Amino acid sequence: MSNTEIQIKKGIKSNRGSLSMKSLSTLLLSLITVLILSSCGDPSANCPFCRDEQDVGLEGQELMAVRVRWSALEEAAYMIDPSTVCEDTPSDALFRRNIRANSCIFVPQCKIFLGQIAVPNNYGFFQDTDLSVGIPGDVVIDYYGDGNYGLSSEMISLGEMAHDHWSAYDRGILAIAVNRFILADGSLTGVRGYAIPPTNTQRPLVYIVDPSLIPSGVDSEHVFAHEVGHSLGLCHTNECDQLDGDSSIQNLMDPDGSVNSTRLVESQCVAARTIHPSIFENTARSEFQPELRMNHRRETVSVSNSGGTVIQGIQISSKTSDKSALSLTLRTKNPINSEKMSFWISLDLDRDTNTGLNTGTIVPQGRHEGADLIVNFVLDKERGLIESGLLKAVGSSFAQLTLPTDGMQLNINTIHGHSMSDTGCTTHPAFDEISFEIPNAIFTEIRHPKPTSAKALELIKVRGVTLSYLADGNELMDTFRPRIKIDSK
């Protein structure tokens, strides 16, 4: 019996008598893992490989399962010819890639099972829709200089396609296999992977290149496992102290791209198991936020003078506090970088034009038919709040609502992405999330029931306009109808 098999068996708690569903699930995960241990160890010539890591001290801990839900560009080299990575089919190539990082790295060290229980033909295979630069299967990534990369429009579009494909499943990590990362001019970047952690509006997402592009002699699953580590909440070894003072060994989360290590320490494993519990399969419901469901009302986005920060999505949550009944979180396409930006967000609370505004606009090209509430706020370049307000529909115009004495509280959080390239792994702002709450008193004033049920939240229709004021004096306008994520308590 191999060391890894012994370690897995140690991780299963003994339970005399009948097995509980949770114990049975743990046993099943362990047996599946034992069956795939042949993925570790010495590789055949030119085949991807990973080293079998050892237990870091989580004695007696049960396996925690997080599913990696794969999608791929059909034109990626190893999707066209899986034999280049020693597999027979594209599904096999994705399955084995996932399993190597699982059985060699995360199971033996952290007791985290990167599961793929879904039937392989459920994988999302997409065609490359942007063939203007590079070769089919290549994906453009934005570059900000000094080794910092960020989400491009093509990456965002791919992420949405993966999200749509796996929309029936609210947990897990989305992974997308691509060919190469290139710049907008077609030049190569050396980027091997890119990751975004889970946020209020975004599921954890990993983009990963063809294994053949990873330099010879480098553990082929180091990059994928490193990016999965970011999705689980792990930081670089030089960015925060998750090492519990143990910096004597090379580490999976080392930012140096030349470090060929898949080693983790116990404190990192504890962090990976606890920072984002909502993405795990066998986490008790009471331990994390309520289930998130996507409402896939896809509406065409109309953009005027394209170039400003577009609102990419919005999460709407019911609240049960004494002060607020409704919480909203906006996600921008890119970080805010205008000298000043004004947001106008219209909320049709019941999808009935007869109960809200029928005509009238606040800004040119703004559409507010049926809007019961208008949320307005203005931010400066440093994301500071300049002003905010709430308006209600009165006939064919708007009237200012009286805010509570403490005003409308906004919270702005910049989400960072992580890119691994030949020169190392860097962290750079990817987008902003802007959260605010609608006070209870407002619903009383407009004589509308507080939308606290899932059914009421489903009725809410959102439209908006952003005005970006640039340093050169120009203004950019974007109108948006964002993707909506519902969080009902």
The first and second tokens of residue 369, run together, are: 């038919």
Residues 348 and 390: their CA atoms lie apart, in Å, by 14
Residue with tokens 């954890």: 204
Residues 235 and 229: their CA atoms lie apart, in Å, by 8
Contact between 310 and 480 under an 8 Å Cβ cutoff? The reply is: yes
The candidate with the shortest Cα–Cα distance to 312, out of 214, 201, 396, 461, is 201
Residues 445 and 377: their CA atoms lie apart, in Å, by 20
Residues 58 and 268: their CA atoms lie apart, in Å, by 11
pLDDT computed for residue 321 by the predictor: 59
The candidate with the shortest Cα–Cα distance to 482, out of 468, 461, 467, is 461
pLDDT computed for residue 298 by the predictor: 29
Q: What is the DSSP string of 344-384?
A: EEEEESSS-GGGS--S--SSTT---TT-SEEEEEEEETT--
Tally Cβ neighbours within 10 Å of residue 125.
Answer: 17
46: left (phi over 0), alpha (psi -120 to 50) or beta: left
Tally Cβ neighbours within 10 Å of residue 233.
Answer: 19
Contact between 82 and 92 under an 8 Å Cβ cutoff? The reply is: yes
pLDDT computed for residue 207 by the predictor: 95
Residues 405 and 315: their CA atoms lie apart, in Å, by 26
pLDDT computed for residue 178 by the predictor: 95
> Phi and psi (nearest 5°) for 293?
-125, 140
pLDDT computed for residue 206 by the predictor: 95
CATH (residue range 3-287): 3.40.390.10
Domain with CATH 3.40.390.10 in the chain: 3-287
Spell 26-57 as b/e; 16+ CB within 10 A means b. bbebbebbbebbebbeeeeeeebbbbbbebbe
In the chain (489 residues long), the average pLDDT of successive 10-residue segments reads 33 36 46 45 56 68 88 93 87 83 85 71 87 92 88 90 87 93 92 89 89 65 88 86 67 78 87 90 43 30 42 72 74 83 87 71 69 87 84 79 71 88 83 86 83 80 83 79 64
The candidate with the shortest Cα–Cα distance to 412, out of 300, 351, 330, is 330
The first and second tokens of residue 47, run together, are: 């085949």
Contact between 271 and 230 under an 8 Å Cβ cutoff? The reply is: no
pLDDT computed for residue 304 by the predictor: 37
pLDDT computed for residue 122 by the predictor: 83
- Chain segment 287-331, per-residue pLDDT in tens: 333 233 323 232 333 333 344 446 777 777 776 556 667 888 888
Give the pTM.
0.78
- Chain segment 383-440, per-residue pLDDT in tens: 888 888 888 877 777 888 877 666 677 888 888 888 888 777 888 888 888 888 888 8
Helix (H, G, I), strand (E, B) or coil at 67: strand
The first and second tokens of residue 46, run together, are: 């030119």
